[in-house]
Structure 1
Amino acid sequence: MSQSTTRTERTDAPPPAEAPPAGPRGLRGHPWLTLLTVAVGVMMVALDGTVVAIANPVIQTDLGASPADIQWVTSGYLLALAVFLITAGKIGDRFGHRTTFLVGAAGFAATSAAIGFATNIQTVIAFRVLQGLFGALLQPAALGLLRGAFPAEKLNMAIGIWAGVIGASTAAGPIVGGLLVEHVSWQSVFFINIPVGLAAVALGLWILRDVRAANAAKSFDVPGIALLSAAMFLLVWGIIKAPAWGWGAGTTWLFLGGALVALVAFALWQTRAQEPLIPLTLFRSVPLSAGALLMVLMAFAFFGAIFFVTFYLQNVHGMTPVQAGVHLLPMTGMMIIGAPAAGAAIGKVGPRIPIVVGMLLTTTAMYGMSTLDTGSGTGVMSLWFVLMGLGISPVMVGATEVIVGNAPLELSGVAGGLQQAAMQVGGSLGTAVLGAVMASKVGSVLPGNLAGAGLALPPGPQGDGLKQAAQLGITPPMPPGTPQQAVQGMATAIHHSFVSGMSMAFAVAAVVAFAAAVLGLLTKRGTAAAGPSVHI
């Protein structure tokens, strides 16, 4: 094929798969190698979302960071990721998803190196924010590249494998992070991204074929980007800080109310902009709107509830981070197996049935986890983890297909950004809301559990500190000379209080998961089967 630019227009159905062009570039655009390439890139981003959590305590000690500073290491990354995702999708639609992917992969690796060499917490935070921006470029671009490389009848399988990589990488984070922190250093958690990022760039230069819609907008809706970014920032930051400020606090409502105002202003502007960032006609598609809300509810239930599992395994059962990660392998394994299988099933019967069945399995798993106690064994935990992995897989694949497949071709990147933004907002909201549920329950049962052990909740700040420790299942050190019976009584009271709060959080997550199952009835296969025009 010549070096000059050629354009392949697709209309109602994709053309038959063409043989890869001969010569040195014969593998460029190969569907399965494209999948391998984008999987390497998104694996880096997904792994980073959980692996850093294991390193945070060591970073705090090594750099002398305050609790507020160390919170920014995670919050700054998630905030940048959530705020920039939809704009990043628009960048891919405009400049091509191949270029966007390569810039994202290279930038993610470079900022990871900068974090590893940082000598103070301010530098770590600054480059974590930049890392989130580059991560936002990667994920919508990956979906756009998959849509351009695969014919419609194989796209679901590709998205299934892609989702399996994300799920496996997310769940593997505690194991990888635990091994690196325990046996190497906290810096190695970031340095590991360098070879992975370089591999993604090398494969991308060799394999990826540029993908963009022929009629994509040629200019950017700058006011729209500013208003949407402001709305996402106010919303996500308000959610992140609500547990510390209090859900009824004026500051919390100021941020959440500001997010609503900015979102309304954005919607009004989109009706007047010449080339809007997100044409509101996009949401006339009921399946697409249902898919976006479904992704929010799924992430709320899954990421919000699973947040407590690592504390349950480590602080209540006394496991190391690596042991806790190993105990999560049943869920990881089912996601690796379930996502490609879900993609195949969705290709045959459409997304509705797999999504509904998946959310019902997730509901069952959430309810089962609400019955765990301080003495629950590996067998019963593994049962609920298996159901969780099997339930989440078809939802991640199906909701992605519904959102991206029902969007116009020229907005495929924006749709990919919308899918990822919905997941980030849902996960942040779930962690905050279920954390508040946990805190309320722990605060109400801890005094009684302490009294049952012959102890009393200390007054003032000391008592508040004990409640906060109990919300994570942590037993604070007792003064020297404290009788062993009192030490054991304190640990038992805190663990029982934590489990009571966790059970309440999982019960709420089960209700949200069931609501998502009902919403899944509104989904259907995407009508925009045609892939975007391809520029080589």
Structure 2
Amino acid sequence: MPLLPATALVLCGALMTRIQDTALNIANPALMADFGLPAATVAWISLAPMLMSASLLTIFGRLADLRGRRNLYAAGIVIFGGGSVLCALSPSFAVLIVARIVQGLGGALMGANSMAYLIEIYPPTRRGFVVGLWEAGIATGSGIGPILGGAVIEASGWQGSFGMILPMAIAMAVAVPFAMKEPVRAPGSPRFDLAGAMLFGVGVASFLFALTRASVEPWGSPVVVGSLALSVVCVVLFVRVEGLVESPMIDLRMFQSLTFTSGNLAKIAGYLPFSAHGFLLPFYLKEVLALPPTGIGSILVALPVGMFAATLISGPLSDRIGTRVLAPAGLVVQAIGCVILAIASPEMGINAPMAGLLLGGLGIGAFIAPNDSAILGATPRDRIGVANGIMGVSRTAGLLLGVAVGGAGLSARVVANGGQFLPAFHDVYWFIAVVAFAGVLLATVRDRRPA
């Protein structure tokens, strides 16, 4: 099977979805002005598809494990591209949210069948290379999106940020039959566990929704508590159902692997600081250093730049020397960056935030490929799609927790410090540093067999 065309097509999918998502950060002010809505409401343009995608990743991953990936990936491209057209033509904010949910559905179909597809067609000895290449594609899209989006939005308004990816989606849809070949699967696939899939999807959606709301209202609020309670009920029922069906959606024995379980927990702990950086640092740069928006943007780019550089190296390196040292070492670097931010002061100027962000990007970039490679190495080949979906849920949980901890923590500590921003910022970052070091410990836990 030719690897280059398939690899290029899958990486284009990563680029397209990340360009779309990150370009919207530039479009938010225009959307607020056009629809006359506050920032908290406009944020759902990003949150709605994220919740949809994370809730469905594992379900589509299992479906692809049973039925194949190419057709589902092609459907994802078409749905994502169609959603972009609906977004660009949306006459109201409500229609725009629905269109973004459609994009989230397409993104889930693509995401569930991207890295998992590459893992299937590449030999196990190149697993780290595949993960690193995939993450580098995401980092590249994250860097291109704001730049391209800013130029397009300035020329054609926020609608252009959605229309600009349509040519890419059309080209990809046309290329799928030629570039992607379906690996041979055993005949007589088991039945799809629909009941388990529904319980899992609702449970994940309610849990992630609770994390989303926790960034803007107290953890004890009825919405947050109710969503968490629904999530717990779904988990209990899900475990019971999975023990009764012949072919469960998730084989719960996967969690008996220390590598699989601790690797996913480490993923949450690693992505929490990564997300918190993007949320908290703009406040520091504006309130403490009084930088203009252009200056803030030029400093924040250190995070994806560091991530991109590290992912290109850590993936192939983990294939050569293994994952046991690289994954925790990456989180050590990230944790050091958090400590620097926890002691940042006006006297340090931009040096402290630049160093903290660069180390944060290098650390998470060095961690992702070996950690994901270890998780996938501990997963049976016929469950790769499920494992990829669970990893996606862990990643999203970490990202949402980073915003929740950053938002709620900063607000609470500002009040506790008598309205002073800098001591509150330091308090929050000391807590984030503790989480980062906890991630280091989790990343060291592995099964006895080599990963």
Secondary structure of 2:114's counterpart equals: helix
Cα deviation, 1:124-160, whole Å, max 9, x if unaligned, reads 0001111111111111201122112211222211211
**Equivalenced residues, count:** 451
CA drift at 1:111: 0.4
Does residue 267 in structure 1 map to residue 239 in structure 2?
yes
- CA distance in structure 2 between the aligned counterparts of 1:347 and 1:362, rounded to whole angstroms: 22
Does residue 418 in structure 1 map to residue 341 in structure 2?
no
What are the residue-to-residue correspondences of 1:350-369 with 2, within 5 Å?
A: 350-369=322-341
Secondary structure of 2:113's counterpart equals: helix
Aligned equivalent of 2:439: 516
What are the residue-to-residue correspondences of 1:83-482 with 2, within 5 Å?
A: 83-211=55-183, 213-214=185-186, 217-313=189-285, 317=289, 323-374=295-346, 376-447=348-419, 449=420
Secondary structure of 1:220's counterpart equals: coil
CA drift at 1:290: 1.2
Cα deviation, 1:52-96, whole Å, max 9, x if unaligned, reads 133122112112345564232222111111211111212221231
Which stretches in structure 2 are left out of the alignment for 5+ residues?
Answer: none
**Overall identity of the aligned pairs, in %:** 24
* Residues 1:95 and 1:311: Cα distance change in structure 2 (over 3 Å): farther
| 362-371 vs 310-319, which moves further | 310-319
Is the Cα–Cα contact under 8 Å of residues 216 and 404 in structure 2 kept in the other structure?
A: no
CA drift at 1:213: 4.4
Secondary structure of 1:364's counterpart equals: helix
TM-score normalized by the length of structure 2: 0.93
- CA distance in structure 1 between the aligned counterparts of 2:322 and 2:152, rounded to whole angstroms: 41
Is the Cα–Cα contact under 8 Å of residues 216 and 407 in structure 2 kept in the other structure?
A: no
- CA distance in structure 2 between the aligned counterparts of 1:310 and 1:191, rounded to whole angstroms: 28
Is the Cα–Cα contact under 8 Å of residues 213 and 410 in structure 1 kept in the other structure?
A: no
- CA distance in structure 1 between the aligned counterparts of 2:269 and 2:102, rounded to whole angstroms: 28
Which stretches in structure 1 are left out of the alignment for 5+ residues?
Answer: 1-28, 450-496, 529-536
Aligned equivalent of 2:426: 503
CA drift at 1:323: 4.4
Supply the AA of the counterpart residue of 1:514.
F
Supply the AA of the counterpart residue of 2:437.
F
Supply the AA of the counterpart residue of 1:401.
S
Supply the AA of the counterpart residue of 1:117.
L
CA drift at 1:194: 1.1
CA drift at 1:382: 2.7
* Residues 1:246 and 1:170: Cα distance change in structure 2 (over 3 Å): same
* Residues 1:322 and 1:196: Cα distance change in structure 2 (over 3 Å): farther
Secondary structure of 1:276's counterpart equals: coil
CA drift at 1:446: 4.7
Q: Supply the RMSD in Å over aligned alpha carbons.
A: 2.4
Secondary structure of 1:352's counterpart equals: coil
- CA distance in structure 2 between the aligned counterparts of 1:252 and 1:319, rounded to whole angstroms: 35
CA drift at 1:205: 2.7
* Residues 1:382 and 1:253: Cα distance change in structure 2 (over 3 Å): same
Is the Cα–Cα contact under 8 Å of residues 405 and 526 in structure 1 kept in the other structure?
A: no
Supply the AA of the counterpart residue of 2:222.
G
- CA distance in structure 1 between the aligned counterparts of 2:176 and 2:251, rounded to whole angstroms: 31
- CA distance in structure 2 between the aligned counterparts of 1:108 and 1:311, rounded to whole angstroms: 33
- CA distance in structure 2 between the aligned counterparts of 1:148 and 1:354, rounded to whole angstroms: 23
Aligned equivalent of 1:491: none
Supply the AA of the counterpart residue of 1:299.
Y
Supply the AA of the counterpart residue of 1:399.
N
Supply the AA of the counterpart residue of 1:81.
S
Secondary structure of 1:401's counterpart equals: helix
Aligned equivalent of 2:13: 41
CA drift at 1:426: 1.5
- CA distance in structure 2 between the aligned counterparts of 1:385 and 1:69, rounded to whole angstroms: 28
Is the Cα–Cα contact under 8 Å of residues 361 and 391 in structure 1 kept in the other structure?
A: yes
CA drift at 1:216: 8.1
Q: Give 1 or 2 for the bigger CA radius of gyration.
A: 1
- CA distance in structure 2 between the aligned counterparts of 1:205 and 1:304, rounded to whole angstroms: 40
Supply the AA of the counterpart residue of 2:389.
G
TM-score normalized by the length of structure 1: 0.79
- CA distance in structure 2 between the aligned counterparts of 1:392 and 1:203, rounded to whole angstroms: 32
Cα deviation, 1:402-442, whole Å, max 9, x if unaligned, reads 22221111111111111111101121122112321111112
